[in-house]
Amino acid sequence: VNNFKTYLPWVVVGVAALYLIFKLVPPGDPAEGMHLEEFATIPVVANGRVKPIDTFARTTLMALSGKQTFKDENGKTQPAVKWLLDAMCFKLGKARAVADYKVFRIENDQVFGLLGLQPRAQTNFCYAVSEFGDKLPDLAREAQRARQVRDKDRTKFDLKVLELESHVQMLLAVTELAEPLVLPPEGPGEEWQTLRQALSAAPSAGGADEPAENFQRMLTGYALNKPAEFNKALAAYRQHAEAAAGSEAHTDLEVVFNHFEPFYQCAVLYVFVFLLACLSWVGWREPLAKAALWLALVTVMVHSGALIARMVLQGRPPVTNLYSSAVFVGWGAVVLCLAIEWYFRNGVGNVVAAVIGALTMVFAIHLGGSGDTLEMMQAVLDTNFWLATHVTCIALGYTATLVTGVLGMLFIVLGVFTPALDREMFKTLPKIIYGVLCFATLLSFTGTVLGGIWADQSWGRFWGWDPKENGALLIVIWNALVLHARWGGMIKQRGLAVLTTVGVMVVGWSWIGTNQLGVGLHAYGFNNTLAVALVVGWGICLGVLAAGLVPLRRWGSYATWTAPPAPPEPGPLTTSSPAARAKRARKKGPGYSPA
Amino acid sequence: MSKTSIQATPPAPAAAPPEDRRDKPGGSPSEEAPPRRRPERFPLLARLLRPLASLRLTVVLFALSMVLVFCGTVAQKDANLWVVLSTYFRCFVAWIPFQIFVRFAQVFFGVPASVSVPGHFPFPGGYVIGGALLVNLVAAHVVRFKVSWKRSGILMIHGGLIVMLLGELITGLYAVEGNMSITIGGAANYVEHPDHVELAFVKHKDDKQDDVTAVAEKTVRKGGLIQDAQLPCDVEVRQYMVNSTLLEVEKAPPGTPNPADKGIGTELVAVERPAGTGVDTEMRRDIASAYVTFKKKGGGEPLGTYLMTAYWGPQKLTIDGTTYDVSLRFPRTYTEYTLYLKEFRHDTYVGTNTARNYSSLVQLVDAGHGEDREVLVWMNHPLYYRGQTFYQSSVQQDSMKNEIGTVLQVVSNPGWLMPYLSCALVSLGMAIHFGLNLIGFLNRRAAA
């Protein structure tokens, strides 16, 4: 058993590494069959960005169905590119198949009513066009009506109708070959073209546009299930397209990235870190804590690598939208917590790293469902300088504030519900919180003010009282409030934990809540799941906060503070009776100095 | 041994667990119980200021400011920014409607949209909280004034904050924002201020000059008869609408009153809309309209009742043989220089309508200062000139959505430099203060 304890961290890291390598290696194309993996790397343009067709397929299918795969007519799970190819071959005999794929996710009762559908959990509430095709005119009519309604007055039904209608349009655009732009510009000054444009510009006479012809041949080969023709046309097309698309499009890297789904892997691994760290408090303290830390280090390496890959793909600083802010905040929090763990070695850093890491990954995966996460920036945001300074700083401010809060919550949960918050932890943990809080204040303040300076540079208003700006301001003020309350002696260890818990709620408001108002310059639109998640998060914080207000003598860890310290230190004055210590602890907690 | 424990009863320090004693002396300076009191230099002043300098007051003010900022944020869901600014932040008392909390619950807790709670309660406004924070901060430094390395960071932070609060005050009081619209190939030498309107009479003198007489919004809003020697006629305001929409007379709901008998008012009718709701993500503003009867001077005969509206350009009014262009328009301030728009560009991302960049190539001509140069104004790259800053703001479109010109946001703010100074001071201060704390902490741990 002792041997196993020694090697446990190695085993854990080894298993994780094998798992990651297994996930990282691309499946490769069969020599005989169609080279779908090769097809996936074809550069196309959609939403203003050159990307592999794989990304286009995944994000489109994700938008429609919430998943990056689909089930074919035999119930077999297939990759998104296959769905896209089928859709592109709609007019080449695949119409029936495409109409039968259950890829339209519908969850709204009123929409069910409109389309005459029944809620169906077996297919994950996904439906095929053939199931509601006869009701498409009704959908179009309702969508037309909803479009007339002002943004903020739209009901949930209006939004869902508009969403579904746009999804149908997305599929339609693909079947009409009007999306994406597949043909790179032939020379300077020319633009990317859709296959439809190219084919109609040069009707397949003798001097036809060669890449367009090749693409068409590829589709025909696919539709007629002739792998050799498909592969041949694909090879010819790719050679041309990759030369024309230029070198800045890292389509190969992006396909690997898509396939690997690094943030999903990170989410899984963070959950294991959490489990290991929690187990380490139950028993086998040393080896399990070490295993948790090592596994966390492996995970954070994957996380960092993915973050860097995204920066390379986009050519931008790490945070450009809500999705990437989740990824970055998670990364920052994990790094910070692992630094804390490295330094204090009490398991606290592991747990907090795992919790924040896993939650932010889940958050990011959810946000990634709405489209291309490497989207292009609105004009005023098209500046790497401010993205690198203001946005990064704000995100780090969120990060540090979240870390203080989760540490505070851990303090309360461990203290109230378990005997694990011993005397040492009772004193150390608030010190860590305090230190992180100082930097949270610094970062969120600097980030907020840098945002003001950017605003002053771009529209002459240092402070616009925009909801997002106000949200950032609230974080700064709250952190300052906690610091001043501590400096003024108004709060001590427990008070610090309680107040930093509120800090999490403030971050939630600033980060996600303000967007839900749907006003202002930073508005990204309302997202129901986020609103619900936020409310649940607030509820959890309030619950922990209430627990934190329980009198100290009712805390689960109370007994450990009143027990005599071990080992007892000999000295002339250590004559205090346990009863006297208990009395003090009851009043002030163990960290209170007997002044 | 800790200084503070000297005051305790003798057995007490002994009772502390050993770690407590070890930690105590090196504890971070600011987190300790009150340090030994120094002799006061100005005892009376200090006694007066002590309550004002209290940290408790600071914490309470922070909490109040958070409530105010939060309410002022949610309020933006329904009211436009200018209304929110004046009712929450740039005022002494903010009257917060209870509906704010209902709105919040509607967004997050699924409270039905129909729920509406009347009434409001008073709350300290931005000026009161900001002012009180300023007093609190200054008092704290007077009472606890001490210059040392340890406190230099704190001093810088607080100095920077004072600069920032004053800067925001100066901005609130003196900053002027406006728009300059220039059509492609055209020129402009005035800035419009779209948060107000004025009733302007323009007499065309020659190709180069106009005579302009204008009645300010305040006066128009009051209604009734306006008489002034400078005005070419008497003006009777029959109805003034802060925000309005125009409808064609035939399409207006039956029974809509239409007092107008001349000008565009014979074809269009204005319908009042609630003020301050014109703003959404596109930052639209209120559009004012008024029904006005012009009368010959000295209680003379009426010249007609007109619909004056900010939607519409000038209308002709002839008084004693002189023709005036009368309009309800955004007030203008004229600049001593002229901007000519040579080229306007609106770049999009490939294959989309998403804007990548807007830019205006203008010729700046200022004969008085011998300036005549070409300037490119684009996103995040404004033009600074003679106390004014010109930012690329938006694009002018005609009714067919063709781009016909640029809109530059023009700001003059005497306090613009203060946030920069403040930011530098506070950030440096925090870096010093927290950095010293961290180094101290790490040293203590290393020693322990």
Chain A residues touching B19 at Cβ < 8 A: 423-424, 427, 565
* Secondary structure element (H or E) that encloses residue A33, with its range: none
Q: State the Cα angle at A160 between A156 and A165, rounded to 5°.
A: 150
Q: Give SS3 for A551.
A: coil
Chain A residues touching B435 at Cβ < 8 A: none
Region for B165 from its dihedrals, namely left if φ exceeds 0, alpha if ψ lies in -120 to 50, beta otherwise: alpha
Chain A residues touching B4 at Cβ < 8 A: 593, 595
Listed by number, the residues of chain B in 62-81 with a beta carbon closer than 8 Å to a beta carbon of chain A are 62-63, 65-66, 69-70, 72-74, 76-77, 81
pLDDT at residue B317 in the model: 87
**Interatomic CA distance for residues B112 and B94, integer angstroms:** 27
- Interchain contact, B73 vs A487, CB within 8 Å: no
Q: Nearest C-alpha of chain A: how many angstroms from B122?
A: 20
Q: Do residues A9 and A272 lie in contact, with contact meaning Cβ atoms separated by under 8 Å? A: no
B142 or A264, which is more confident = A264
**Interatomic CA distance for residues B330 and B312, integer angstroms:** 11
Q: Nearest C-alpha of chain B: how many angstroms from A182?
A: 11
Listed by number, the residues of chain B in 162-181 with a beta carbon closer than 8 Å to a beta carbon of chain A are 167-168, 171, 177
DSSP string covering A278-332, please? Answer: HHHHHS-HHHHHHHHHHHHHHHHHHHHHHHHHHHHHHTS-S-SSHHHHHHHHHHH
**Interatomic CA distance for residues A361 and B259, integer angstroms:** 63
Q: Please state which of the ranges A399-403, B157-161, B311-315 shows the lowest mean pLDDT.
A: B311-315
- Interchain contact, A458 vs B391, CB within 8 Å: yes
Chain A residues touching B276 at Cβ < 8 A: none
Q: Give SS3 for A566.
A: coil
- Interchain contact, A449 vs B422, CB within 8 Å: yes
Q: Do residues B110 and A526 lie in contact, with contact meaning Cβ atoms separated by under 8 Å? A: no
Between A and B, how many CB-CB pairs are < 8 A? 235
- Interchain contact, B19 vs A486, CB within 8 Å: no
- Interchain contact, A470 vs B89, CB within 8 Å: no
pLDDT at residue A578 in the model: 54
The mean pLDDT of B20-36, rounded to a whole number, is: 38
Q: Nearest C-alpha of chain A: how many angstroms from B299?
A: 47
**Interatomic CA distance for residues A459 and A457, integer angstroms:** 6
Listed by number, the residues of chain B in 177-216 with a beta carbon closer than 8 Å to a beta carbon of chain A are 177
Q: Nearest C-alpha of chain B: how many angstroms from A500?
A: 14
pTM equals 0.81
Q: Which of B350, B411, B412, B428 to mutate to test the interface with A (most CBs of A within 10 A)?
A: B350
- Interchain contact, B350 vs A45, CB within 8 Å: yes
pLDDT at residue B394 in the model: 81
Q: Nearest C-alpha of chain B: how many angstroms from A426?
A: 12
Listed by number, the residues of chain B in 363-422 with a beta carbon closer than 8 Å to a beta carbon of chain A are 379-380, 382, 389, 391, 393, 409-411, 413, 416, 419-420, 422
- Interchain contact, B419 vs A453, CB within 8 Å: yes
- Interchain contact, A442 vs B434, CB within 8 Å: yes
Q: Nearest C-alpha of chain B: how many angstroms from A17?
A: 34
Q: What contacts A546, CB < 8 A, 6 or more positions away?
A: none
- Interchain contact, B434 vs A439, CB within 8 Å: yes
- Interchain contact, A462 vs B416, CB within 8 Å: yes
Compute chain A's Rg from CA coordinates. 28
Chain A residues touching B355 at Cβ < 8 A: 378-379
Option in A424, A481, A593 nearest B62 (CB): A481
By the CB < 8 Å criterion, does B281 face chain A?
yes
Q: Nearest C-alpha of chain A: how many angstroms from B298?
A: 46
pLDDT at residue A379 in the model: 59
pLDDT at residue A202 in the model: 59
The single-letter DSSP state of residue A380 is G
By the CB < 8 Å criterion, does B26 face chain A?
no
Note down pLDDT in tens along chain A; length 595 residues. Answer: 677 778 888 999 999 999 999 988 877 778 788 888 889 888 888 887 888 899 999 989 988 888 888 988 888 899 999 999 999 998 888 888 888 899 998 888 888 888 888 888 887 788 888 888 888 898 999 999 988 887 667 777 888 888 899 999 999 999 988 888 888 887 777 788 888 888 777 554 444 457 888 888 899 999 998 999 999 889 888 888 777 766 566 888 888 888 898 999 999 999 999 999 888 888 788 888 889 999 999 999 999 999 999 998 888 888 888 888 999 999 999 999 999 998 888 888 999 999 999 999 998 888 877 677 777 666 566 677 777 888 899 999 999 999 999 999 999 999 999 888 888 889 999 999 999 999 899 899 989 888 888 888 777 778 878 888 899 999 999 999 999 999 889 999 999 999 999 999 999 999 988 888 765 544 444 567 788 889 999 999 999 999 999 999 899 988 888 876 555 444 444 444 555 555 555 555 554 443 3
3-state secondary structure chain B: CCCHHHHCCCHHHHHCCHHHHHHCCCCCHHHCCCCCCCCCCCHHHHHHHCCCCCHHHHHHHHHHHHHHHHHHHHHHHCCCHHHHHHHHHCCCEEEEECHHHHHHHHHHCCCCCCCCCCCEEEEECHHHHHHHHHHHHHHHHHHCCCCCHHHHHHHHHHHHHHHHHHHHHHHHHHCEEEEEEEECCCEEEEEECCCCCEEEEEEECCCCCEEEEEEEHHHHHHCEEECCCCCCCEEEEEEEECCEEEEEHHHCCCCCCCCCCEHHHHCEEEEECCCCCCCCCCCCCCCCEEEEEEECCCCCCEEEEEEEECCCCCEEEEECCEEEEEEEECCEEEEEEEEEEEEEEEEECCCCCCEEEEEEEEEEEEHHHCEEEEEEEECCECEEECCEEEEEEEEEECCCCCEEEEEEEEEECCCCCHHHHHHHHHHHHHHHHHHHHHHHHHHHHHHC
Chain B residues touching A458 at Cβ < 8 A: 379-380, 382, 391
pLDDT exceeds 60 at position B16: no
pLDDT at residue B14 in the model: 32
- By CB atoms closer than 10 A (0-12, 13-18, 19+), residue A21 is exposed
The mean pLDDT of B17-45, rounded to a whole number, is: 45
- Residues A243-254 as b or e (16 or more Cβ within 10 Å = b): ebbeeebbbeeb
Q: Which of B9, B32, B193, B349 to mutate to test the interface with A (most CBs of A within 10 A)?
A: B349
- Interchain contact, B77 vs A473, CB within 8 Å: no
- Interchain contact, B380 vs A477, CB within 8 Å: no
Q: Do residues A440 and A401 lie in contact, with contact meaning Cβ atoms separated by under 8 Å? A: yes
Q: Which of B20, B36, B71, B73 to mutate to test the interface with A (most CBs of A within 10 A)?
A: B73
pLDDT at residue B94 in the model: 94
- Interchain contact, A442 vs B431, CB within 8 Å: yes
Single out the residue of A477, A152, A456, A512 nearest to residue B80, CA to CA.
Answer: A152
pLDDT exceeds 90 at position B65: yes
**Interatomic CA distance for residues A143 and A148, integer angstroms:** 9
CB atoms closer than 10 angstroms to residue A412:
25
Q: Nearest C-alpha of chain B: how many angstroms from A454?
A: 8
Option in A383, A470, A481 nearest B59 (CB): A481
Q: Nearest C-alpha of chain A: how many angstroms from B154?
A: 12
- Interchain contact, A181 vs B16, CB within 8 Å: no
- Interchain contact, B380 vs A481, CB within 8 Å: no
Q: Nearest C-alpha of chain A: how many angstroms from B363?
A: 20
E-strand ranges in A10-110 read 43-46, 49-52, 69-71, 77-79, 102-105
Give the phi and the psi of residue A212 in degrees, each rounded to 5.
-60, -40
Question: By CA distance, what is B88's nearest residue in A?
Answer: A465
What ipTM was reported for this prediction?
A: 0.84
Option in B15, B65, B430 nearest A581 (CB): B15
Question: By CA distance, what is B165's nearest residue in A?
Answer: A463
- Interchain contact, B76 vs A519, CB within 8 Å: yes
Angle between helices A392-417 and A423-459 (to 10 degrees): 160
Q: Which amino acid is at A419?
A: P
Q: Nearest C-alpha of chain B: how many angstroms from A1?
A: 34
In chain A the first and final C-alpha atoms are separated, in Å, by 48
Q: Which of A384, A426, A448, A459 to mutate to test the interface with B (most CBs of B within 10 A)?
A: A459
**Interatomic CA distance for residues A487 and B28, integer angstroms:** 10
